[in-house]
Amino acid sequence: MDKWLLEQLKTVTPEEQAYLNGDSQVRKDIYTYPCQEDTACKMSKGYTEKDYFEIDCQLFLQEGKLLTVRHHSRFVEFPVHKHNYIEIVYVCAGKIIHYIDDKELVMGPGDMLFMNQYVEHSVKRAEAEDIGINFIALPEFFDIPLQMMGKHNVIADFLVGTLRQNHPVPQYLMFQLEEQKPISNLMENMISSIIWQSENEDVINQYSMGLVFLYLINHMDMLTRDSSQNYEDVLIQATLKYIDTQYKTANLGRIAEDFHQSLPVLSKLIKKHTGYTFQELLLRKRFQKAVMFLVETQLSVEEIATQIGYENLSYFYRQFKARCGMTPSNYRKCHKNDTIIKI
């Protein structure tokens, strides 16, 4: 890396000086709005407010800017946290160590790490010679890079799936590049342009990042994927989540298209991992919701049928009776005060 630029990045910031002076906790007020922390999520994971927080990109991006960089703060342990943006980490010198699901990811000079939006992770204390750069970008920043590299490659699938949040993607992609010169030159140019606020920097950096992605596609042999779950497991979890949230309109063709899978392959995987076909899973979810609406609400049977995706009321009646042994109206009378049964 350019020696002069590296020396600039090694300069101790006021935040880092506070840690050197004895502060042992990350300055969360720099990184997050207190009201945005997801308390329910924290408690469900067993975390406390002391050791969990979400970093907000709006605290770092200047108004009207799509991208900024921030060098990773040294001399302090970063506890479990997440981001509301896709994080791209580039190591300029030394090493930066992340922990995701208790897996240690050791990054050296030239290495790049893409982390899924909202993935929970922690970072080991970095020392004076450990220089890591965090790229913080709005979703719109990736429009041009995605156009440049096209569809159906690992990086495009990762970015699109992460931004849409409806596509199974790994928690991270890590490229161990050992300072590939074309890539390091582009990364240094982006870092410099942002630090010095060059004219038209956003557009220039969009094309520069697109070139980086194209180079990375040619270095798939240097890619380390998230291995905490295999792709089939991630795909099935995403399918079940899709059914759970979109049961009214869910269809196998739509999800197969979103996940870049053929209908026969996806159908086979669903049956293999759940023991049910997609249609059976969808019907189970719909009738679970129908039972809940009958017991817990005053909605009419016709309204309930529409709510779960049935336009033909007679067909809904027949399906319900076949599954529950009685009509929806009789079920409501018999089970009004009962615990909801599983369908």
- The CATH number for 98's domain is 2.60.120.280
Q: Do 210 and 103 belong to one domain?
A: yes
Name the amino acid, one letter, at 140.
E
Q: What is the CATH number for 329?
A: 1.10.10.60
Q: Do 210 and 255 belong to one domain?
A: no
Picking from 169, 202, 225, the residue at the C-terminal end of a domain is 225
Q: Do 83 and 105 belong to one domain?
A: yes
Q: Do 25 and 166 belong to one domain?
A: yes
Picking from 172, 201, 225, the residue at the C-terminal end of a domain is 225
Q: Dmax of the chain from CA atoms?
A: 79
For residue 62, give the DSSP letter: P
CA-based radius of gyration for the chain: 25
Q: Do 211 and 339 belong to one domain?
A: no
What is the full per-residue pLDDT of the chain (343 aa) written as tens digits?
A: 888 999 999 999 999 999 999 999 999 989 987 544 444 444 444 444 444 688 989 899 988 899 999 999 999 999 999 888 989 999 999 999 999 988 899 999 999 999 987 788 999 999 999 999 999 998 999 999 999 988 767 788 788 878 876 566 778 889 998 768 999 999 999 999 988 888 888 999 999 999 999 999 888 778 876 644 556 776 787 788 889 889 999 999 988 877 667 889 889 989 998 999 999 999 999 999 999 899 889 999 999 999 999 999 999 999 999 988 899 999 998 877 655 444 4
- CB under 8 Å to 61, separation ≥6 — which residues? 67, 68, 136, 138
Write out the residue range of the structural domain in which residue 293 sits. Answer: 229-343
Is residue 85 within 8 A of residue 137, CB to CB? The reply is yes
Q: Do 256 and 211 belong to one domain?
A: no
Is residue 208 within 8 A of residue 190, CB to CB? The reply is yes
Q: Do 262 and 212 belong to one domain?
A: no
CA-CA distance, 91 to 1, in Å (whole number)? 10
Residue 151: half-sphere exposure toward Cβ, Cα within 13 Å: 5
Q: Do 169 and 125 belong to one domain?
A: yes
CA-CA distance, 124 to 128, in Å (whole number)? 13
- CB under 8 Å to 207, separation ≥6 — which residues? 144, 145, 148
Is residue 31 within 8 A of residue 53, CB to CB? The reply is yes
Picking from 225, 248, 266, the residue at the C-terminal end of a domain is 225
Q: Do 31 and 82 belong to one domain?
A: yes
CA-CA distance, 328 to 31, in Å (whole number)? 52
Give tens-digit pLDDT for 291-303: 989 988 999 999 9
Q: Do 187 and 262 belong to one domain?
A: no
Number of structural domains found in the chain: 2
Q: Do 120 and 32 belong to one domain?
A: yes
- CB under 8 Å to 249, separation ≥6 — which residues? 309
Q: Where are the beta strands (DSSP E) in 211-322?
A: 223-225
Q: Do 235 and 309 belong to one domain?
A: yes
On whether the pTM is more than 0.85, the answer is no
Tokens 């840690």 — which residue?
A: 19
CA-CA distance, 288 to 299, in Å (whole number)? 15
